[in-house]
Structures are given as structure tokens and as C-alpha cells.
Amino acid sequence: MPEAYNTSKNGSVPKPVLLIVLDGIRPDVLRAAIRDGDAPALGFLAERGEAVWDGVSVFPSITPAATAAIATGEPPAESGILGHAWYDREEGRVVVYGAMRETVISTGPVKVFHNNVWRMNRDDLTAPTLFEKLDERGIDGACVNFPVRRGPHEHPVRARSVHRYKRLANRSELLGASVDGPKEYYMGDLFYSRDTGLHGRTGVGGLRRSVGINDAYAAGVGAMLLAEKAAPFTLVYFFKGDSITHHKGLAAQRRHVTTLDQYVEDMFDAAGGPEKMLEDYAVLALSDHGHTPLLPNRRRFVRLGRILGEGASAGSRVSFGPGLEIVVVPNGRSALLYFEEGVEREKVVTNVLSRRGVDLAAWREDGWGVVRRLGRELKFRPADTVGDGPRDAAGRAWEFSGDPRALEIEVSDGGIGYGEYPDALERLWGCLRSPRCGDVVLSATPGYTFGEVSGNFHEQSDHGSLHASDSNVFVLASGISVPHRLTDVVPILLDHFGAGAETAVAETGRKA
């Protein structure tokens, strides 16, 4: 272990931390699996530690935005990562990080690969990551498959398949020779700090599969890192549960939890068994967002490009120009709308809100967030600088104007109570402040989806909205404080590793 790791505020050594992220697993699904005895390892963690079943994701509740929030401690407005896709006004193009196969194909596989592996972490991510912050404190990190992983160490591309693609596509400028990551970084055949003997799986089905990125690999490398106690901080990511749920629904997710639990058990066993694991390590396990079942017919797809009519277009290759004044970027059950100057927001909002499947619209106006739903409108902003107001569960005061029922908010005894839109003010505010989110953001009614930039949409289930079913996550924690928001993970980890001491010094300095 690095020398600096042995220093902390009390002189005692904080336990190393394992952070497990299970993409898209709903709290109620995991809870049922634990109750039925189908998830013994995660059940052990919940029983020995603390469990939160109503934690909250960010908005949009979609993987790139949510994983960026986990890795940086910042909402999308500060992390810079809004969703699977957004429109870059400066470059005049839609940036796609990858999603459905059709979306990847319509955008161009090499470009998506570039965006996902290089551009997102290097160019678009506007906040420091946990790996960078821990490195400043002399603490090394290890990362397996997690998409947001920028760090201080350079990792060369290992996969021959990428070099082959570079030649084939003649797009070598898009695929760099290396990326920056934590000390130990593993992502299939693409990047590996050391030869684990676990890579080298070739497969069919596109670049992602051909570079060996899969959950069994993640569990194998995770087990190796834990057995070696390789790093004070280890992050292991499992993505398959999300895609299974998109294609096959929540019943399939429920079955898949058993597989995920086996991976967790394998990692615990590598560390000497569950008891020893929790003795030696602090463990955090959480999901990044939830999932909402879709209606069984094609009406589940809200085709925004068509609804907004002439002058509007949704697609991976659209940009403003003659005849095009609205760019629509669907992100599953949320959508980002970008306007050319002169577009009347009111007209657009009235139109989309009259359509089946569009639950709410939100935008930024003169320093306020505005949300409209069911004919009710609420303006809101943090009251941090302008005085007092009712407070949310995290203690932040908010100023309102309009009808709080637009967000099912109830105010009693100076406290804010949420209904179907958990932590709605903080989450909307964490999105709307970013110019990258566009001029209006939409959230879909349960059962519906806006699909993706390719015009395709998922079969069984989707996410991205402000609604609780997409937004609630589970968090299990042992040996470390339990976060309620994804953005709480970083401060809790920094505190665990002794950043609290440095913060105290900084605050003392400021007062003096």
C-alpha cells in the first residue's frame, strides 16, 4: 500500500473500500431477491451494514449522467455529462456516448467508441473524478469496467481489435493510443494494467463485445484485486442487468440478480469469505438508476421529432441549419430540446405537454428553474443566497413561486415532502443549470419512452425520467456511511479516507 494511505486524522488506518455498481437494478427487485434468499451475499451486506431502499439517482436518470455523478460527486450540470447523448452547439453536432445497437450503428460505431472511451472522460467531463481526488491524497484507485474513470495514470490501448478498426475505418484520429485512468485500470481486452489471464475473449456483436467487456470478466478481475488487496479503493461495475431489463423486463432483472449476487459472492470469497471481507474492507454497493416497464404496444414510443413537426428533427446526425430550428435529443424516458434563436418556448411546451406520454417539461428562466405538469407551473431556486425557505431532507432551503403540486411537493413545518418525484428540486436544478441540457427538458409518463437518437426504442423497460420508478436506487453500506444521493458517494469516500482532516484545516484557514 502507498505510504500516504497509512495516515489519517486519528492516526488509525481507514479500511480499504470496495464500491460495487450494479447498473439499473431496482431497489424493490433486489429487496425481493434478498427476502427470497436469492441474493445471499448482498443480503449479508444489507444485514451486517446499512440499507437504503429510497436512495436517488440524478436527472436524467441515465447511465452516463449517473455514473459521472458517482465518480465526481457532482450533478450533470457540474460533471458535464447529461445523458447518452446531447447536442454540442459549438461543434454543431449530436454527441452520442453509446446506447442501443441501432443508435451506435446510426451514429457510426467508431465515433461512438471514440466518444465513450476518449471524449467523455477527457473532453466532456468537467469535474475532477474520485480517482483524481484520491490520488491528490496519495491514495491509489483500481477500476474495472466503470465508464467514468479519468485518473492520473496513462494506460495504453491493448486490444488488437482496436488497432484493426483504426486501419479499417481509417479513423485513427478518433481512436487514441492511450487513456488516463486510475493506477489499476481494467476494461476487457481494451485496457489492463497487468495481464490477468482473464482477457482475450473474442466475440461477435460489435466493438464492445469484441473487446471483452462483460460482467464475468469484471467479477474475475475484482476477485483478483481483492485477493491481492491491490488498492485502497476498488470500483467494480456490472452493466448487464440494465440491458437484460431493457430487453426482457423486470421479471428477467429479478432472475438476473441471482447471477449478480454470485459475482459479489465470488469477490467476497476471494477476500476470504463474507465475514472476512467485511472485517477487512468497507463495502458500498448501489445501483445508478431504476427502470420503468413500458406499455406493450408501439404507442409506448413518443415520437418527438414528428410531434414537433417541420423545423424539428431528432437524429444522431442533425445540426442547426436552413429549415431546422429545433434539435431533439431523446435520452430514453427523458429528452433534451435545443432551440434556434426565435423559437417560441411557450408554443413548443404547450404542444408537447398536450401529448400522451409527456409527463412534464422543465427549463431555466432568469435564474429560476421552471417546471410544468398537468397545467400547473412551479418556479424554484435554491434559497442559499436569497434568504430562507422550506428545506429538503438534505437541509437545502428553496424559494418557490407558483404551484408546488406541479411536482407533488408538500410543504409542512418548513420541510419539503416529495411524492412521485423524489428529490425533484435538487435533481432538476442539477440538470437545468447546464447549457448542455438545451432549452427545454422533458420527462416521460410511466409506460412511455422517447427512445433514442436513432429513432429506435426499447422493448420492455426504460429509464431516464424524474419519476420515482426510474430514479430510486438502493444503497448498501458496511464500514462506511451510507449515501442517499449518488452525489454523496464522493464526499463520503473522501471523508472515510481522511479528507475530513484537510477540510477542517481549510475551513479554519478561511475563518482566520
CB-based burial, 166-183: b 16+ in 10 Å, e otherwise: beeeeeeebbbeebbbbb
Site size for Zn ion (CB under 5 A): 1
One symbol per residue from 187 to 226: x for binding Zn ion (CB under 5 A), - otherwise; what is it? ----------------------------------------
C-beta of 10: minimal distance to Zn ion in Å?
A: 41
- In angstroms, give the least distance from the CB of 250 to Zn ion: 13
Which residues have CB under 8 Å from 266's CB, separation 6+? 219, 220, 222, 223
Alpha helix segments (H runs only) across 281-387: 304-307, 345-353
Amino acid at 142: A
Q: Return the number of the residue (243 or 319) whose C-beta is nearest Zn ion.
A: 243
Report the residue number, 25 or 475, with the smaller CB distance to Zn ion.
25
Least spacing, CB of residue 447 vs Zn ion, in Å = 16
Q: How far is the CB of 257 from Zn ion (least distance, A)?
A: 16
Q: What share of the chain is helix, strand, coil (3-state, %, to 5)?
A: 35, 25, 40
Distance, in Å, from the CA atom of 466 to the CA atom of 404, rounded to the nearest integer, reads 15
C-beta neighbour count of 319 within 10 angstroms: 16
Which of 193, 253 has the CB closer to Zn ion? 253
How many residues comprise the chain? 512
Closest to Zn ion by CB, 66 vs 307, is 66
Please tell me whether residue 242 binds Zn ion under the rule CB under 5 A: yes
> Rounded distance, CA 139 to CA 46, Å?
27
Contact region with Zn ion (CB under 5 A), list: 75-83, 239-247, 264-272, 465-473: 239-247
Q: Does 288 bind Zn ion (CB under 5 A)?
A: no
CB of 457 to Zn ion, least distance (A): 12
Q: Per CB under 5 A, does 392 bind Zn ion?
A: no
Q: Which is nearer to Zn ion, 215 or 242 (CB)?
A: 242
CA 116 to chain centre: 13
**In the bound complex, what is the minimum distance in angstroms from residue 201's beta carbon to Zn ion?**
23
The one segment of 240-248, 279-287, 297-305, 376-384 that binds Zn ion by CB under 5 A:
240-248
Q: Which of 121, 116, 241 is nearest to 181 (CA)?
A: 121
Residue nearest to Zn ion (CB): 242
Q: Which of residues 295-334 bind Zn ion (CB under 5 A)?
A: none
Radius of gyration of the chain (CA): 22
Binding site for Zn ion (CB under 5 A): 242
